[in-house]
């Protein structure tokens, strides 16, 4: 079995309005789902992506007003990279006030200091961000993580600590002396990889457990089903199913325009809405 690529990346933020304005207003992503953290319903869970919320385009956030800044370090995803059409890089350079590195990537941060980058894609037209290009993991001990990516998850090893799927790249930044990262605003909570079906997810669960990893039971996230485990370097990995997708409870044209709650939280809607900060949604 081979992992097709990244499904989504989930990070932590502070001010929800500032986060929403940056990812929809500046980066031009669509708010495809406005919901809450199912494990902490007093906190929003904001999902951004392309028009339909295609797996591989989805960046999500748990924003907590007043949250303290986290610290980048070992055992974390320390950069998230997006793709945009090659002809749009001049536009993005000016908009982000960023200078390309030797590989042509533009590096910048979001309002909470989360490291991001933008690279040119051969696909697409216009200026819109299309999908993830990949993620960077900072690891003290890179070998076991590399073995997991190649021998178990089916990534192909490339140069300079890069591991390729059919869609994106996981890069390992080997930093033997790096201090441990600390969760907080501006850090990644987890990276999720794709499973095409529920059956394939169960196969991954069994395979990972046979490899000695501690894997959770399947959890219903309403828009996909999830299993979680920590890779050898400590980064939290998820495997999420492609179906059912974000139109399971909203029409495509109205995605992200109303607060959606899973059925088990609907009885508490009034109390949840009372506690959540007010948001000005994109028009």
Rounded Cα distance between 269 and 273, Å, is 6
Residue 11 within any structural domain of the chain: yes
**Of 202, 188, 200, 249, nearest to 221 (Cα)?**
249
Residue 125 has pLDDT above 90, yes or no: no
CB atoms within 10 A of CB 25: 10
Residues 38-45 have a mean pLDDT of: 95
Mean pLDDT of the chain: 96
Residues 128-151 have a mean pLDDT of: 96
Residue 221: phi and psi, rounded to 5, are: -100, 20
* DSSP-based three-state secondary structure for 90: helix
- At residue 32's C-alpha, the angle toward residues 27 and 36, to 5°, is 110
**Of 137, 15, 22, nearest to 73 (Cα)?**
137
* DSSP-based three-state secondary structure for 252: helix
Rounded Cα distance between 180 and 73, Å, is 5
Instruction: Tell me what pLDDT residue 227 has.
Output: 98
Instruction: Tell me what pLDDT residue 123 has.
Output: 74
The pLDDT tens digits for 197-251 are: 999 999 999 999 999 999 999 999 999 999 999 999 999 999 999 999 999 999 9
Residue 283 within any structural domain of the chain: no
**Of 130, 99, 133, 108, nearest to 119 (Cα)?**
133
Instruction: Tell me what pLDDT residue 234 has.
Output: 97
CB 25, CB 217: distance < 8 Å: no
The pLDDT tens digits for 69-110 are: 999 999 999 999 999 998 899 999 999 999 999 989 999 999
Local structure of residue 213 (DSSP, 8 states): -
Instruction: Write the Ramachandran bin of 75: left for phi over 0, alpha for psi from -120 to 50, otherwise beta.
Output: left
pLDDT band for position 33 (cuts 50, 70, 90): very high
CB 137, CB 233: distance < 8 Å: yes
Residue 155 within any structural domain of the chain: yes
Residues 150-164 have a mean pLDDT of: 96
For the whole model, what pTM was predicted?
A: 0.97
Share of the chain above pLDDT 70, in %: 100
Domain CATH code at residue 254? 3.10.180.10
Rounded Cα distance between 74 and 235, Å, is 9
Residues 40-63 have a mean pLDDT of: 97
Residue 162 within any structural domain of the chain: yes
Local structure of residue 233 (DSSP, 8 states): T
Share of the chain above pLDDT 90, in %: 94
Residue 281 within any structural domain of the chain: no
Rounded Cα distance between 90 and 85, Å, is 11
Rounded Cα distance between 268 and 55, Å, is 30
Instruction: Tell me what pLDDT residue 94 has.
Output: 95
Residues 170-190 have a mean pLDDT of: 97
CA dihedral in degrees (100, 106, 107, 109; nearest 10)? 140
Please enumerate in sequence order all residues whose Cβ is within 8 A of that of 210, keeping only pairs 6 or more positions apart, or say none. none
- Domain tally for the chain? 1
Residue 282 within any structural domain of the chain: no
Instruction: Tell me what pLDDT residue 143 has.
Output: 96
pLDDT band for position 166 (cuts 50, 70, 90): confident
Query: What is the β-pairing status of strands 40-49 and 225-230?
Result: unpaired
Instruction: Tell me what pLDDT residue 283 has.
Output: 80
Query: What is the β-pairing status of strands 219-220 and 225-230?
Result: antiparallel
Contacts 24+ apart (CB under 8 A), 202-209: 203/1, 204/1, 204/239, 205/239, 207/1, 207/152, 208/152
Residue 1 within any structural domain of the chain: no
Residue 238: domain span: 6-275
Which residue bears the tokens 């959770």? Answer: 216
Residue 148 within any structural domain of the chain: yes
């Amino acid at each position: 079995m081979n992992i097709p690529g990244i499904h989504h990346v989930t990070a932590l933020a502070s001010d929800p309005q500032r986060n929403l304005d940056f990812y929809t207003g500046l980066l031009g992503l669509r708010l495809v789902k406005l919901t809450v953290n199912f494990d902490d319903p007093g906190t929003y869970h904001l999902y951004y992506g392309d028009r339909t919320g295609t797996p591989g385009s989805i960046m999500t956030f748990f924003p907590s007003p007043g949250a303290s800044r986290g610290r980048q370090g070992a055992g974390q995803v320390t950069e998230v990279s997006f793709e945009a059409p090659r002809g749009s890089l001049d536009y993005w350079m000016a908009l982000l006030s960023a200078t390309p590195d030797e590989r042509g990537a533009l590096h910048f941060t979001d309002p909470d200091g989360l490291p991001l980058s933008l690279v040119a894609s051969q696909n697409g037209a216009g200026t819109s961000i299309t999908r993830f290009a990949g993620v960077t993991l900072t690891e003290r001990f890179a070998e076991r993580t590399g073995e997991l990516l190649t021998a178990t998850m089916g990534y192909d090893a490339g140069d300079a600590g890069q591991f390729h799927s059919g869609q994106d790249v996981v890069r390992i930044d080997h930093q033997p002396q790096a201090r441990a990262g600390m969760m907080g605003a501006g850090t990644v909570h987890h990276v999720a990889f794709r499973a095409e079906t529920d059956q394939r997810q169960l196969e991954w669960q069994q395979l990972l457990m046979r490899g000695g990893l501690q894997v959770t039971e399947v959890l219903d996230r309403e828009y996909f089903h999830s299993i979680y485990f920590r890779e050898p370097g400590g980064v939290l990995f998820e495997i999420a199913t492609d179906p059912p997708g974000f139109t399971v409870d909203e029409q495509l044209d109205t995605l992200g325009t109303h607060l959606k709650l899973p059925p088990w939280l609907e009885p508490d809607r009034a109390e949840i809405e009372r506690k959540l900060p007010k948001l000005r949604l994109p028009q």
